[in-house]
Amino acid sequence: MVMLHTLPIAELQRRLFDWYQKNRRDLPWRGQTDPYAILVSEVMLQQTGVERVAQSYERFLAQFPTFAALASASRGDVLRAWAGLGYNRRAVYLQECAQTVVLEFAGELPSQTEQLRRLPGLGPYTIAAIQSFAYGFDVAALDTNLRRVLARLAGIGTPTDQQLKAVAVSLLPPGRSADWNQALMDFGSLQCTAIRPRCIVCPLLDLCGAVQDQSVPTLERKVAERPEPYLGSRRYFRGKIVAFLRDLPPGQTASLDELLHAVKPEPGEGDRAWLESLVRDLVGHGLAQIVEADEPRVAAPA
């Protein structure tokens, strides 16, 4: 393991900024300082790839340009605008964030950690990203790419969160957190990748602890059990139900049988009860509504 005090921090920062100047990705949210626009991009990017987000980001902002516009929109319109991004619950969280900002913070996104924690769907990374990109705070936004790059630079094979935070704080250039965090993100996405990192042409090769130790840790995600396969999972069918309801003409509903045959053309015994449980789960999360209690019919949320 390379001790932090042996890293030539100023030289490392200079080289990484030089690399970033030449290789930075041209993304529609880069350079944004509007807290609302940054929040939208960060929530979209939580579980969706950069390319897909880039296709939807500006269109979403055009439709809902402010916290007030998003807060007052119908849930159905928000879900339709979210189409293609997946994990539809994030759209609900984002709208609930907007409603809280309007009601409790006079339409201004707060900058302090404790206040940001009160907003639904915001974890430590998203909070740090908002503080860095929107407010210029000297904080490290530790996403997956940053964690991997920092662990390799410091030569830590299996880092703890405390170790990674210590590395991040040591390397963060005062007053330039936004550029630094974005440079590290691009470096992790394009250069210091999880699989087959481009070490031989890396500008930080002679400074990298993992190279000196002849090990390139990949920071594999620890899970308690094997994750559920997506295809055929409850999450898969939840997404199909939301997509079907989202595409219904305004005011139109579907019976449970119509919905079942739409998402599962050859249903089996017990599938209707299974579908009803999925629908009620979606209703509980604000992603669907049951509009007739006697003979249930389902629609996109109003």
Q: Report the catalytic residues.
A: 42
Residue in the structure block whose two tokens are 């807060």: 71
CA–CA separation, 16 and 180 (whole Å):
8
Kindly report the length of the chain. Answer: 302
CA–CA separation, 68 and 193 (whole Å):
39
Strand order through the sheet with 254-255? 254-255, 297-299, 289-290
Partnered with residue 255 across adjacent β-strands are 297
CA–CA separation, 46 and 52 (whole Å):
12
Residue 169: partners with Cβ closer than 8 Å, 6 or more residues away: 140
Residue 289: partners with Cβ closer than 8 Å, 6 or more residues away: 283, 298, 299, 300, 301, 302
Looking at 29-176, list the stretches that DSSP marks H as alpha helix, in order from N- to C-terminal side: 35-45, 50-63, 67-72, 75-81, 89-104, 113-116, 124-133, 144-154, 161-171
Q: Supply the DSSP symbol for 218.
A: -
Task: Report CA Rg, the chain.
Answer: 22
Structure tokens at 50: 């950069």
